[in-house]
Amino acid sequence: MIDVKGLKKAFGDHVVLKDITEHIYPGEKVVVIGPSGSGKSTFLRCLNLLETPTAGTITFKGTDITDPKSDINKYRQKMGMVFQHFNLFPHMTILRNLTLAPTQVLGKKKDEAEAKAMELLARVGLDDRAGSYPNQLSGGQKQRVAIVRALCMEPEVMLFDEPTSALDPEMVGEVLDVMKSLANDGMTMVVVTHEMGFAREVGDRVLFMDGGVIAEQNTPTEFFDHPQTERAQNFLAKVL
Amino acid sequence: MNVDLLYETLSQIPLEDLNFWQSLFTKFYRAWFMEDRWLKYFEGLLTTIEVTVIALVIGVVLGVLVAMARVAHDQRRPGTHNPVLSAVNFVCKIYVTVIRGTPMMVQLMIMGFVIFSSSRNFTLVGALGLGINSGAYVSEIIRGGLMSLDPGQSEAGRSLGLSYIQTMRFIVIPQAFKAILPSLGNEFIVLLKDTSLISVIAGKEIVYAARSIGAKTYEYMFPYVITAIMYLILVMIFSWLQSILERRLRESDRR
């Protein structure tokens, strides 16, 4: 579904990604882990071109999206993104946050978009907060809304950039629950996370990144029980 | 009328025989009531408001255009090069540098006595000069507001498939506007008061009226104090309107 070939990214002289080649299959749940500064967030952000790759190509369902001629807005509609800091629009109500892109980008009618938004909000148990502003919600609620905001575009892939890292510990569970139910529905997901329990339970494949390369990849069970490389062993010894 | 009668009586008495209050009244009468001079102040006030509004519109339109061009240039995708955008950005930079680097009064005199030296419509020339001046400052205020917003906001917009323009329109500008409102209000107050400078190119606003009345009566205290009070009231009304707007925009900050 997403094909990454020879991806490189440098900020000035600082090389963050060194030649990554990877494929993400439809319906797959890929979990990206690794120490901070290993390039895992940059890798994720390259997938929908929030960062412009220095070299390499990214192909989404057969189209090269790194080609300057391709209309990136069209592909971003199909790739939902959830950020570490939620990035809800603070000047809009929750409902407006959810319906903005469907009405403006997909050209949906207002009531149609609202009905869809309310249905999805109800699924995460927040339909009573539709008229609130983001600042009136807790962190966990904000992140659930942010997930719903991405889902309202009916994406084919969901990208999660450390979705629980900015949350108070007691709110991590509610967000992970939403992500798990999404995974059960068969959504293709790429998740950058520090939640090893989530990676083990939900992931089909774990990518371990270190120093701008994918140092090791395996099924979660194999990776967590028998890490092959020394770097992965050191990392797991610290976090588990 | 009562005041006219009082003035008639007092003007019979030699000046040095009047007590403090009587002489004060005489001066005020000459500066305000005599020959319906109060009308002149209000005519001037009307011109001041008219010039402010014209300059404000020119300033905001110029400011928004310049700020948008410069931010679009600064935030373009790295590695891409757009010669038109670069040229526009260069022109905008020169505009801001020249306007901020020269005194307003010099700009007005160049506008009035050099560029539009054949025009008799001093007021409009003055408004144009003020608007061009204000645009440079407004553009920097707006640019600051656009740059100060968390980049995550526009990233979130773009990640949903919104275009650059849509992200600007629905997400960045409304939030930036709220953030810059105090500095924008400040700039508008400065602009309102700077309209007094167009009197140097014979724009007929309040100061011009006050000065001509003073020249007739040889007494400048009341004309200028009246002028000051009029500006003060105008600015107070404006500040009050601004605070109402700010309160309405703060609605989403409630917790």
pLDDT of residue A160: 96
Would the pLDDT of B255 be above 70?
no
Q: What would the mean pLDDT of B52-59 be, rounded to a whole number? A: 94
pTM assigned to the model: 0.81
- The helix/strand/coil state of A61 is coil
Residues of B in contact with A81 (CB under 8 A): 156, 159-160
pLDDT of residue B76: 76
Would the pLDDT of B13 be above 80?
yes
pLDDT of residue A232: 92
**Among partner residues A52, A80, A91, which is closest to B174 by beta-carbon distance?**
A91
A152 or B22, which is more confident: A152
Q: Is there a contact between A87 and B152 if contact means CB atoms under 8 Å apart?
A: yes
Helices and strands (DSSP H and E) totals, chain B:
11, 0
Query: Do the Cβ atoms of A106 and A155 come closer than 8 Å?
Result: no
At CA A200, angle to CA A198 and CA A202, rounded to 5?
Answer: 60
Average pLDDT of every residue of chain B: 90
Q: What would the mean pLDDT of B54-58 be, rounded to a whole number? A: 94
A39 or B253, which is more confident: A39
Q: What would the mean pLDDT of A158-163 be, rounded to a whole number? A: 95
Q: How confident is the model at residue B83 (pLDDT cuts 50, 70, 90)?
A: confident
What the block records as the tokens of B18 is 């009047």
A3 by Cβ neighbours in 10 Å (0-12 / 13-18 / 19+) ranks as middle
Query: Do the Cβ atoms of A8 and A212 come closer than 8 Å?
Result: no
To which residue do tokens 């929750």 refer?
A94
Q: How confident is the model at residue B7 (pLDDT cuts 50, 70, 90)?
A: confident
User: Which residues of A make CB contacts under 8 Å with B?
Assistant: 48, 50, 52, 68, 73-74, 76-77, 79-81, 83, 85, 87-92, 100-101, 104-105, 133-136, 149-150, 153
Q: Is there a contact between B253 and A101 if contact means CB atoms under 8 Å apart?
A: no
Of B138, B158, B117, nearest to B67 by C-alpha is B138
Q: How confident is the model at residue A161 (pLDDT cuts 50, 70, 90)?
A: very high
Would the pLDDT of B12 be above 80?
yes
Q: How confident is the model at residue B162 (pLDDT cuts 50, 70, 90)?
A: very high
Of A151, A191, A76, A223, nearest to B164 by C-alpha is A76
Residue B198, C-beta contacts closer than 8 angstroms, at least 6 positions apart: B51, B108, B122, B123, B126, B127, B129, B130, B205
Q: What Rg, from alpha-carbon coordinates, does chain B have? A: 24
Would the pLDDT of A118 be above 70?
yes
Query: Do the Cβ atoms of B155 and A87 come closer than 8 Å?
Result: yes
Residue B16, C-beta contacts closer than 8 angstroms, at least 6 positions apart: none
Between A60-69, A98-107, A110-119, A216-225, the lowest mean confidence (pLDDT) is in A60-69
Q: Is there a contact between A92 and B150 if contact means CB atoms under 8 Å apart?
A: no
Q: How confident is the model at residue B9 (pLDDT cuts 50, 70, 90)?
A: confident
Would the pLDDT of B78 be above 80?
no
The per-residue pLDDT for range A2-60, each reduced to its tens digit, is 999 999 999 888 999 999 999 999 999 999 999 988 999 999 999 999 998 999 999 99
Q: Is there a contact between A50 and B155 if contact means CB atoms under 8 Å apart?
A: yes
pLDDT of residue B79: 64
- Calculate what percentage of chain A has a pLDDT beyond 90: 88
Separation in Å, CA A10 to CA A6, A37, A54, B78: 13, 13, 6, 11
Q: How confident is the model at residue B140 (pLDDT cuts 50, 70, 90)?
A: very high
Query: What is the least distance, in Å, from the CA of A122 to any CA of chain B?
Result: 21
B76 or B197, which is more confident: B197
Between B70-84, B145-159, B210-224, the lowest mean confidence (pLDDT) is in B70-84
Average pLDDT of every residue of chain A: 93
Q: What would the mean pLDDT of B100-121 be, rounded to a whole number? A: 91
DSSP state of A48: T
pLDDT of residue B74: 85
Task: Give the Cα separation of B73 and A53 in Å (integer).
Answer: 20
**Among partner residues B77, B150, B252, which is closest to A133 by beta-carbon distance?**
B252
**Among partner residues A50, A80, A90, which is closest to B158 by beta-carbon distance?**
A50
pLDDT of residue A20: 93
Length of chain A: 240
Q: What would the mean pLDDT of B204-219 be, rounded to a whole number? A: 89
ipTM of the complex: 0.90
